[in-house]
Amino acid sequence: MHITAQAPPPVSKMTYTALSRLLNSTIPTYQQVASSTPGHCIAGQCAFWNVGSNVRYKLFRSYCTGMYGCELWYLDDSKISEFCTAWKKGLRRIWNLPHYTNCDTLHCLTNDLPVFYEMCRRCLNFIDTCLHHHNGTVRFFAWHGIKCTQGISFIDRKMKLC
């Protein structure tokens, strides 16, 4: 195991791109999908506008909630706020709500956590897993990051932010 001083990866461009593509595309009809090659979009356009809002939201969550590696993202980065804003815009489009709809209403409607809180939840679960890991070295570095290097370590900054 090698520990380096490299910064964690930035917000995944793939996650951000998938979100923006889904929000800015149109949906083919069932007949178009059935007649096309499986797994390919028709004329580069794939979305879900001819189904109900509940189905659209489930598809949106399936395709755009990956956020793989968000435990290592800097949550105070400006790209995170851009991602959260794009997420809220997507929810408004899915539910056909005006742009001035309150964010709290969005999360009550979807019965989910706001996307930033979901990222924080994942980060805190990761930290908890490290603190209770079977490997003593992992436990030590997690504990050391919280107790001994307050305000400096990556883990401590995440805990304070979340």
Coil/strand/helix, residue 150: coil
Residue-level pLDDT at 27: 43
Q: What is the pLDDT of residue 86?
A: 86
In degrees and rounded to multiples of 5, residue 21 shows phi and psi of -65, -40
Q: Determine the length of the chain.
A: 162
Question: How many folded domains does the chain comprise?
Answer: 1
Question: What local confidence, expressed as pLDDT, does residue 129 receive?
Answer: 93
Distance CA 150, CA 161 (A): 13
Residue 41 lies in a domain: yes
Is 2 part of a structural domain of the chain?
no
Place of tokens 């709290």: 104
Residue ranges of the chain whose pLDDT lies below 70: 1-49
* 6 domain residue, yes or no: no
Strand extents, DSSP E, 35-161: none
pLDDT computed for residue 136 by the predictor: 92
Give the single-character DSSP code of 46: -
Asked if the structure places residue 135 within a domain, the reply is yes
Predicted TM-score of the model (pTM): 0.65
Residue 8 belongs to some domain of the structure = no
- What pLDDT sits at residue 161? 84
| pLDDT recorded at residue 78 | 86
The three-point CA angle 90-92-96 to 5° equals 120
Structure tokens at 92: 């408004």
Tell me the residue range of the domain where 105 lies: 13-161
Q: What are phi and psi of 5, to 5 degrees?
A: -95, 20
146 in a structural domain? yes
**The pLDDT value given to residue 22:** 52
Which pLDDT does position 28 carry in this prediction? 42
Residue 72 placed within a domain: yes
* Residue 36 belongs to some domain of the structure: yes
- At residue 96, the pLDDT reads 85
Predicted local confidence at residue 7, as pLDDT: 52
